[in-house]
Amino acid sequence: MDLSPRVTPTPPAPRVRNRRKWVSIGLLVAVLGAGGIVLTKFLTSSLDYYCNVDEVGNKNGCETGRRLRIQGVVDEHSLSSSGGVTKFDMTFNKVTVPVVYDGDPGGLFQECIPVVVHGVMEKNGVFDGDEVEVKHSNEYEAENKGRIDEANKESAACSQQQ
């Protein structure tokens, strides 16, 4: 007769669901989703469509109320500054847009030269600019020779009207 205690097999521990794994996966999905939303908003808000003055309101992407870069020639006798605000008119292909720029464009900015203004075309037809570019880089000139030539023709016509 065997008097040693019987060894009973230990029943397997009840299976505990790995909640930590699902919490980690959920957190990862939330972070990736938030990152995607932020990236999408950043990319769409930083996208400025490039338009000539005559294309605003007529070309897809050049609608009123959206951020744009518009090119034109500063009209002669239209430049005025008061209280830190600069106002002028820009023309391209015989279409004129009034521009209000908060600040002094400085540099080479003057009448009868081609400029590119960054900003938003308001519903009242005034372009609210926040950045003015006067001189194009060599890279821009190489890629957009036709636009530069058209703008230079417009500026030459402006200075001959005296």
Predicted pLDDT of residue 128: 92
pLDDT value of position 90:
92
Q: Which of 10, 28, 47 is the last residue of a domain?
A: 47
Task: Domain of residue 99: give its range.
Answer: 49-159
Q: Is the pLDDT of residue 97 over 90?
A: yes
- Is it the case that residue 162 has pLDDT exceeding 50? no
For the segment 1-25, the average pLDDT, to the nearest whole number, is: 76
State residue 56's pLDDT score.
85
Higher pLDDT among residues 149 and 53, named by residue: 53
- Give buried/exposed letters for 109-137 (b at 16+ CB in 10 A, else e): bebbbbbbbbbebeeeeebebeebbeebe
Note the pLDDT of residue 134.
82
Is the separation of the CB atoms in 101 and 129 below 8 Å?
A: yes
Task: Report the chain's mean pLDDT, rounded to a whole number.
Answer: 81
Residues 39 and 111 both lie in one domain = no
Same domain membership, residue 63 and residue 143: yes
Bridge partners (DSSP) of residue 127 are: 99, 121
Do 86 and 100 lie in one domain? The reply is yes
pLDDT at 60: 82
Q: pLDDT tier at 15 (50, 70, 90 boundaries)?
A: low
Q: What is the DSSP letter of 139?
A: H
In this structure, of 63-67, 122-126, 134-138, the range with the lowest mean pLDDT score is 134-138
pTM of the model: 0.60
The predicted-structure confidence for 20-69, as pLDDT tens digits, reads as follows: 788 888 999 999 999 888 887 776 655 677 888 888 888 888 888 888 88
Query: What CATH number does the domain containing 99 carry?
Result: 2.40.50.140
